[in-house]
Structure 1
Amino acid sequence: MKDQIACKPALATLAVISWAGVLLQFWLSINLALANGKTVGDGIVVFFGYFTVLTNLFVALAATMPLIAGFSRLGRWFGKPMVLGSATVSILMVGITYLLLLRNVWQPQGLQLLADIVLHYVVPILALAYWLAFPPRSKLGVLAPLAWCLYPMGYFVYVFARGELLGSYPYYFIDATSLGYSKAMLNSFGLLISFIALGAAVLAVTTLRNRFRTPASPVRR
Structure 2
Amino acid sequence: MAGRDRLGRFFAGAIALLAGGGVLLQVLLVIQTVEAQGRSAFGGIIVAFSYFTVLTNTLVAIVAGACALLGDRESFLTRPGTRTAAALYIIVVGLIFALFLTGLREMSGLTLAVDNILHRVVPVLFGLYWLAFVPKGRLGWRAPLGWLLYPALYVVYSLIYGALTGRYLYPFSDVTALGYTGALANGLAILAGFLALGLILVAVDRALAPKRPI
Under a length normalisation based on structure 1, what TM-score does the superposition of the two structures give?
0.86
Structure 1, residues 158-209: CA drift from partner, whole Å, max 9, x if none?
2122222222211011112331111100000000111111111122122212
- 1:141 maps onto 2:140 in alignment: yes
- Confirm or deny: 8 A CA contact 1:168 1:177 kept in the other structure: no
Rounded Cα–Cα distance in structure 2 between residues aligned with 1:145 and 1:24: 31
Aligned letter for 1:196? L
* Distance in 2 (alpha carbons) for counterparts of 1:137 and 1:208: 8
Equivalent position of 1:209 in the other structure = 208
| Inter-partner Cα distance in structure 1 for 2:66 and 2:164 | 33
- Equivalent-residue separation in structure 1 for 2:202 and 2:124 (angstroms): 17
The residue matched to 2:167 in structure 1 has which SS? Answer: coil
Would you say the 8 A contact 1:5–1:66 is kept in 2? no
Give unpaired runs (5+ residues) of structure 1.
216-221
Deviations 1:14-39 (A, max 9, x none): 11111111111111111111222222
CA contact (8 A) 1:12 1:64 kept: yes
**What do you get for the CA RMSD once the two structures are aligned?**
2.5
- Between stretches 174-183 and 83-92, larger displacement belongs to 174-183
Gapped regions of structure 2 (runs ≥ 5): none
Deviation at 1:210, TM superposition (A): 2.1
Partner of 1:78: 77
2:186 aligned residue: 187
In the alignment, is the contact (CA less than 8 A) between 1:173 and 1:187 conserved in 2? yes
Task: Report how many residues are paired.
Answer: 210
Cα distance in 2 for residues equivalent to 1:201 and 1:124: 16
C-alpha distance in 1, partners of 2:136/2:89?
A: 21
Cα contact 2:12–2:67 (8 A) shared by 1? no
Partner of 1:10: 11
TM-score, reference length from structure 2: 0.89
Residue by residue over 1:67-99, the C-alpha shift from the partner in whole angstroms, topping out at 9 and shown as x without a partner, is 4578xxxx9221122111111000000000000
Mapping of residues 1-221 of structure 1, within 5 Å: 7-68=8-69, 76-137=75-136, 139-211=138-210
Q: Distance in 1 between matches of 2:106 and 2:174?
A: 21
Q: Report % sequence identity.
A: 39
Q: Distance in 2 between matches of 1:167 and 1:46?
A: 13
Distance in 2, matches of 1:113 and 1:212, equals 44
Deviation at 1:137, TM superposition (A): 3.9
Q: Distance in 1 between matches of 2:145 and 2:95?
A: 19
Cα deviation for residue 120 of structure 1 reads: 0.4
How far apart, CA to CA, are the structure 1 residues paired with 2:98 and 2:67? 30
